[in-house]
Structure 1
Amino acid sequence: SNSIGASYRFYTNYRMDGTMDGVQNIYKNGMSEGTITQNGNVEIRTPARHQADVYYVGRLGKLGIDFNASYVAMRFKENHAQTEHSDQLSGREVHSSGNQRSHLWAGKLVFEYPLWHGNLNWGTEFSYTDSWGNFTNKEQIVASSETDIKERNRAVFADYSLPLGKFSLSAGLRYEHVVSDYYSFGTKQDDASRRYSNFFPSASLSWNSGKWSLQLNYSNKINRPSYRSLRNFVQYNNRYGYEGGNPELRPEQIHNIEVTGVYSWLNISAGYKYYKDAIIWTRGLYQNKAIALTAAYNYDHSELYYASVVASPKFKWYQPTAEVSYLQQNFHAPNDDGSLVKNKPTVTFSLLNQFAFSKTFMGRVNFWTRTRIYQGFQEANGFASLNLALRKSFYNERLILSLSANDIFDSMRERWGLNGYGTTMDKDCNTYSRSVSLTVTYNFNAKRSKYKGTGAGNAEKSRL
């Protein structure tokens, strides 16, 4: 029962061109200083991306072997051209461009062996990432940058699961050693280069009896910042707002405890997360000027409490799913008098209605609403949304017609505010998500993929 295979994926060139137009009304000490009209052109290109994967799955007696290896190569280009006009203030032209080029090599080897009455899994995983990027501003309003991050991650792990009648126990441990070398314009920066060695334990206890099920989980994981967030760049958005990276950004560790109870079609869960060295987007003054800089920074810790109740009964042709969830952060920013961070609860309600009129004809009516949400320094308004859909299939699922109407009441506006040190930002934007679509699908010789690989370095791929 051995299986070996390979997969190669090629993503064709993607290009997006657009414009950014806006008007800024400038006030100082409550008095109007002038108006700036901003016109901008944006060009984003994603040249061809390559991803290759190989795998081997087999057995040697009782020993199970699972090997995966991956290679990813990708590029990203972005050009901005902006013109600012003003009768009261000076005009300005700004031209900036950014490039990113990344390569990833990764491998993962997992062994499985029955031990006593349970199952033992152990293995190793490694990855090497080289992510280079630069940012240039023709007018030198903001400084140019060139960053190259070379990161090596080596890990070993093991977990053991043991069924004990109605109970089931599992426990695991993962060790990671990471070496991250940081270069600026080809010169290694020792203060931004990092070395990490961490243990990540996990454990689970579950109980099942008839329609009842209870589970208690604990995990300790790590969230490493994206490579873009680590770059030493300052991007010009307008003369009063910049966006930047942070080479000193550290990964955040997440401790999570969760309990879940299930009875037939009713599911109740509650959990707690503790973020050590929490990564949070922050606004502050750029070089003590009247310019706001937005970037990600580490804070000592942040907490999150959450709970949900999900009911999903089935009544022949009608299958509803109703969910009520609660979310609340506990984060205290330095030097905050209570005006920067709000630790208030958020409640979400959704009702997903599925109608199975026949085996080939189905319909959906989905409603979703949320109260105001608080995440770090950000506060976002609540909203509601209603979506409808019909699906009809013919010729044994070969021909499928799908008709959908999304955000029928055009209610999904993007309204939020980001508080900061000496600066605030508010956004009120129509997301233009209201739409009607008809999709026609015809399947030619449809077969399931025989590829059995799970890939390697999946966490690194998401950081790119």
Structure 2
Amino acid sequence: SSVVDNKVAVTYPATTDAAVNSADHRRSTLWAGKLCLDFPLAHGDFTVGTQATYTRTKLDYMMLNQDVESYIPSSFTDARQASASAFASWRRTFNRLSMSLGLRYEYVDYDFSVDGKRDNDVSRRDNLLTPDLSLSYTFNDRAQVSLSYKMATVKPSYSQLTGALNYVGLHEIEGGNPALRDERMHDVQLFAMCGDFMLQSSLTRSIDTYAFVKQLYPAHNLQLMMHPVNIDVSSVSLYLIWSRAVKFWTPNVTAGIYKQWLDIDGTCYNKPIMSYYFDNTFTLPHGWLITANISGQSQGDIHTNRFASSPFMMDASIGKTMLNHSLTLKLSATDLFNTANNNWTMNTFGVFVDKRQSYNQRGIALNVIYRFNPRQNKYKGRAANEEEMKRL
């Protein structure tokens, strides 16, 4: 369980406008359990198990400015979710061919209430059945290919499910959307390796994933609200990777493209993003290690954001191991040429936003690591509460 308190004050020192104060109190509780059993079956490895979680998060939001409270009211929300699932998978190798088959069933009971009253339009019960299939073939030690299909359910974070609205500025509101549905994602992936080259590609169809939009919000003055809504989007990605050790130098080059197909209210967000990564590692005598990593990308769309290009960024580091690899010293520098940016535009429902944010990400860090007889973690599974912890 956890408790978080926030107090926010928006002030306008150069004007006569009154300060806008708000506060919120969030309490979250999570219970989870998981049981797995592995045993051989039909010349393969079979896994069967069950998992259950209970999550509750309460948010008390208080708007302390009476004028603003007329369109951003205080609210008290309570979200509870109980889920139970059963899963099974079977894996087998036929000489050079490997196969994996999996199936998962999950029951979810989601209950959402505002000011102590259950919201029947948002509360729901779901039954989910998701398969997971993969095939791989190994030609030799330096050549293999694999194809997989996975259907998964991706639940939005609880911060996106809140019904509270937050005051950002005179004409700016941000909020969540308690009516967000769980995403159903169909993902086909192809992986191939031949010598020093690797190919990674995927085709994804996401139903009811979410993206942020800006819309006009009803109030006595002009108000723009940014909040998440459900969307359907298809995307394809293709990346080619090359790596080879050349004496003390190991270069790693990745180049690829991401493209999506998304249409909201007649506006298309289909501009592809091309990107590259050029990582360099220099392994020198006496435990010295130097890295110089360069990356960049073109302008393109991810969901409803069109991100600006950033053609050249560079990080570097120099490190040394001592005392039989027990002690490691590492000096690293980020964004050496101050070329990183977070510029993007958004054009949704007749509202156009152009954000230009230049900030200095340059920095220097010194890491000192000493290992006292390190022990390996023998647990190879996943925690039962891992997914829900990320949502909280």
Normalization by structure 2: what TM-score?
Answer: 0.94
Output the CA distance in 2 between the equivalents of 1:122 and 1:264.
Answer: 37
- Tell me the SS of whatever aligns to 2:160: helix
1:260 maps to which residue?
191
Decide whether aligned partners of structure 1 residues 247 and 206 sit closer, same or farther in structure 2, where only a CA change above 3 A counts.
same
**AA of the residue aligned to 1:133:** L
RMSD, aligned α-carbons = 1.6
1:3 maps to which residue?
none
Output the CA distance in 2 between the equivalents of 1:265 and 1:176.
Answer: 41
Q: CA deviation at 1:164?
A: 1.3
Output the CA distance in 2 between the equivalents of 1:402 and 1:201.
Answer: 44
Mapping of residues 211-250 of structure 1, within 5 Å: 211-250=142-181
1:388 equivalenced with 2:319 (yes/no): no
Q: CA deviation at 1:452?
A: 6.2
Output the CA distance in 2 between the equivalents of 1:278 and 1:298.
Answer: 5
Mapping of residues 365-384 of structure 1, within 5 Å: 365-383=292-310, 384=312
Contact residue 305 and residue 345 of structure 2 kept, 8 A: yes
2:368 to 436, 440, 445: 440
Q: CA deviation at 1:451?
A: 6.0
The superposition leaves residues 291-337 of structure 1 with CA deviations (integer Å, 9 ceiling, x where unpaired) of: 110111112x2101111000111123111110001101100112x2x
1:350 maps to which residue?
277
1:192 equivalenced with 2:122 (yes/no): yes
- Tell me the SS of whatever aligns to 1:128: strand
Output the CA distance in 1 between the equivalents of 2:377 and 2:263.
Answer: 49
1:285 maps to which residue?
216
Contact residue 264 and residue 348 of structure 2 kept, 8 A: no
Decide whether aligned partners of structure 1 residues 451 and 252 sit closer, same or farther in structure 2, where only a CA change above 3 A counts.
closer
2:30 maps to which residue?
104
1:461 to 386, 389, 392: 389
Output the CA distance in 1 between the equivalents of 2:258 and 2:23.
Answer: 39
The superposition leaves residues 258-311 of structure 1 with CA deviations (integer Å, 9 ceiling, x where unpaired) of: 111101321012211001112111110111652110111112x21011110001
Output the CA distance in 1 between the equivalents of 2:374 and 2:90.
Answer: 38
- Tell me the SS of whatever aligns to 1:278: strand
Q: CA deviation at 1:405?
A: 1.5
Output the CA distance in 1 between the equivalents of 2:192 and 2:43.
Answer: 26
Mapping of residues 418-433 of structure 1, within 5 Å: 418-433=346-361
Q: CA deviation at 1:433?
A: 1.2
Unaligned runs of 5+ in 2: none
1:172 maps to which residue?
102
The superposition leaves residues 217-254 of structure 1 with CA deviations (integer Å, 9 ceiling, x where unpaired) of: 00000111111111111000001110011111111110
The superposition leaves residues 368-417 of structure 1 with CA deviations (integer Å, 9 ceiling, x where unpaired) of: 10111302221111112111110111111232221112101001111111
Q: CA deviation at 1:454?
A: 3.4
Decide whether aligned partners of structure 1 residues 183 and 435 sit closer, same or farther in structure 2, where only a CA change above 3 A counts.
same
1:76 maps to which residue?
4
Q: CA deviation at 1:453?
A: 6.2
Output the CA distance in 2 between the equivalents of 1:169 and 1:452.
Answer: 20
Output the CA distance in 2 between the equivalents of 1:359 and 1:223.
Answer: 47
Q: CA deviation at 1:432?
A: 2.3
1:113 equivalenced with 2:47 (yes/no): no
1:153 maps to which residue?
83
Output the CA distance in 1 between the equivalents of 2:264 and 2:286.
Answer: 55
Output the CA distance in 2 between the equivalents of 1:248 and 1:201.
Answer: 26
**AA of the residue aligned to 1:275:** S
**AA of the residue aligned to 2:6:** E
Output the CA distance in 1 between the equivalents of 2:332 and 2:301.
Answer: 31
Q: CA deviation at 1:421?
A: 1.6
Q: CA deviation at 1:132?
A: 0.8
2:262 maps to which residue?
331
Output the CA distance in 2 between the equivalents of 1:83 and 1:347.
Answer: 41
Mapping of residues 6-25 of structure 1, within 5 Å: none
Output the CA distance in 1 between the equivalents of 2:326 and 2:166.
Answer: 49
- Tell me the SS of whatever aligns to 1:92: coil
1:143 equivalenced with 2:62 (yes/no): no
The superposition leaves residues 399-447 of structure 1 with CA deviations (integer Å, 9 ceiling, x where unpaired) of: 2221112101001111111222232222222232101222333334444
**AA of the residue aligned to 1:462:** K
2:251 maps to which residue?
320
Contact residue 99 and residue 133 of structure 1 kept, 8 A: yes
Contact residue 246 and residue 295 of structure 1 kept, 8 A: yes
Contact residue 85 and residue 92 of structure 1 kept, 8 A: no
